[in-house]
Amino acid sequence: MQALLGCFLFFWDISPNYLAIDEKFAGAAWVGQMEANFLGKTTKKDNRAPEDSFVKSQSDFSEFDPWTAWAYKPRTISLLLIGTCLLVWASGALDPERTKTNDVVTSVKRGVWAMIAVYLAYSLLQAPSTVLIRPHPAIWRLVHGMAVVYLSALTFLLFQNRDDARQFMKFLHPALGVQLPERSYSADCRIYVPENPESRFNNVYETLFDEFVLAHIFGWWGKAIMIRNQALLWVLSIGFELMELTFRHMLPNFNECWWDSIILDILICNWFGIWAGMRTVRYFDGKTYEWVGLSRQPNIIGKVKRTLGQFTPARWDKDEWHPLLGPWRFIQVLFLCVVFMTVELNTFFLKFCLWIPPRNPFIVYRLVLWWLIAIPTIREYNTYLQDRYAFSI
């Protein structure tokens, strides 16, 4: 109880300092004048008392739609009280008899998950905001917190030896920690197998219905939406195939047949994912963004469309990379490509070193987390490059 009280007092102490700042920033972003409002207000010295700043942030809510303004008002104290009650209930402090039967491992697991939940709740309220405001700025603050948790977990694994790290994965999923046979895709590269009575194209069918086919298509669709540059996407696509050739002596499943690597991966799966992604980019690029509040929609259909539209971008900016603009810009874009291929390569190395099967949900969770991390990261990196170019002009 003393630890919970200390946590409560800690949040209580820091929360008033951030209420006005976060909500003022969110309000400016919502009306599409984030940069102008933020720069205009921070260049002047603010001599107002904290109470005056809080009142000013409350007045900014008049710019929101009346039906959704509640979602952008500060709720730090309310969420703190609710979170504290949930922690007390989940810890079993109100019912000690219920937790007596728990062994040490179960108690440690529950404690670690509770620590992660507390930090994510803190990130939801107080983490730095990004340039993204849809569907809500708090969502991207939560993603920032999840990225820090993932980084902390990798740091912990870095200080373990290989066997201990593999056994540690059992605490996360009971099916892990067991050595798995790695599949080699180049054992038989024949397209036509005449001695197979069931299917003479069995090698092609097995490759087509592999789980990595869908991963290729949806992965490149997501990358196309983030990068929005077809030439750069093809550089990444061909570059990763070269990475597979480079590390095929270390990872058995990088050994692929020529038709699998060139035809199926590059010319079919990657091409289709890039094509679909660029079609999505052109669709959003051609839209007219004139957002009307939920309360001003004339009928139920309009309100439903506006609600679903909250999960689409507030505006669509073209990401101009210009890798041939100069030597320094070429290095900056090349750095992006290196980071991208390193993240993709780590998926296979972690899977191989930690004995994680391809169909284990942890693979999917990691890819989704990295996709969420990459969305604001690439957006802010491109904004940084364009702002530096505009400033130099």
pLDDT for 312 beyond 60: yes
Question: What integer pLDDT is reported at residue 49 of this predicted model?
Answer: 34
> Which has the minimum average pLDDT: 7-11, 29-33, 165-169, 344-348?
29-33
pLDDT for 314 beyond 60: yes
Q: If 0-12 CB within 10 Å is exposed, 13-18 middle and 19+ buried, where does residue 53 land?
A: middle
Question: What integer pLDDT is reported at residue 293 of this predicted model?
Answer: 67
Question: What integer pLDDT is reported at residue 118 of this predicted model?
Answer: 92
pLDDT for 14 beyond 70: no
pLDDT for 15 beyond 50: no
pLDDT for 338 beyond 90: yes
Question: What integer pLDDT is reported at residue 391 of this predicted model?
Answer: 53
Which sign does the torsion angle of CA 70, 75, 78, 80 carry?
Answer: positive
φ and ψ at residue 33, rounded to 5 degrees = -125, 40
Question: What integer pLDDT is reported at residue 329 of this predicted model?
Answer: 92
**Which tokens belong to 390?**
């505009």
> Which has the minimum average pLDDT: 120-124, 289-293, 381-385?
289-293
pTM recorded for the entire structure: 0.73
> What are 30-47's pLDDT values in tens digits?
333 333 333 333 333 343
pLDDT for 272 beyond 60: yes
pLDDT for 236 beyond 90: yes
H-only helix segments in 31-103: 34-42, 50-59, 76-91, 96-99
Q: What angle do CA 234, 240, 243 make, to 5 degrees?
A: 145
CA distance 102 to 61: 48
pLDDT for 384 beyond 80: yes
